[in-house]
Amino acid sequence: MSQRDELVREIRALSDAEAVRALTVLVEDRGLLSSAEQTALPDGELEEALTAAGVEPGGGAGEGDVARAALEYAALGGDGVVGEAVEYVRSPMERFDPVSVSVGVLAVTLLQTEVVVKRDRRGRWSVTVRKRALKDAALARVLTALLSHLTDGK
């Protein structure tokens, strides 16, 4: 089994809370947490923007499912920090990791090179997805899980 396959297995074994914390750690490591905190993107508006971009919701995905899909996407893209984030959240040390940003905003912030989220002059959000052949399936899982989470699987 390759290191990447092992990492994907470890990501899938994370609890919901661990997955959200690991995604937060990854976004923070990239220096994007402050911009995520400043993004005032309500879940309802993100849902509308994803639907308008042609994303279809999958089965009922929760926050943990969205976080695991985003972590797996980053891992498949070769981001070595994902493994460190997974190790960090699974370690027994005491820590305080408050998550003040929605998992949707964290996922979109992590994917900012693949997904462009913009607000027009009328205040409406739009999502543009840039597809790259190698990662289409993994990116689709992230966006599908995110939309499913926002719509409660409807």
In the chain, the N- to C-terminal Cα span, in Å, equals 36
Q: Tell me which residue of 3, 5, 16 sits closest to 145, measured CA to CA.
A: 16
Q: Which range has highest mean pLDDT (76-85, 109-118, 132-141)?
A: 76-85
Predicted pLDDT at 134 = 41
User: Count of domains in the chain?
Assistant: 1
Q: Residue 78's pLDDT is what?
A: 76
Residue-level pLDDT at 48? 77
Residues 6+ apart with CB under 8 A from 2: none
pLDDT confidence tier of residue 132, bands split at 50, 70 and 90: low
Is 97's pLDDT higher than 90?
Answer: no
Tell me the per-residue pLDDT of 64-96, one tens digit each, with 9 for 90 and over: 888 888 898 888 877 778 888 898 888 876 655
pLDDT, mean of residues 122-141: 66
What does the block give as tokens for 42?
A: 């309500």
pLDDT at 130: 62
- Look up residue 28 and give its two tokens: 């923070």
| Stated pTM of the model | 0.69
- 8-65 pLDDT, tens per residue? 899 999 998 899 888 888 888 877 777 777 766 677 777 777 777 777 766 667 888 8
For residues 113 and 30, the answer to whether their CB atoms sit within 8 Å is: no
Domain span holding position 73: 3-153
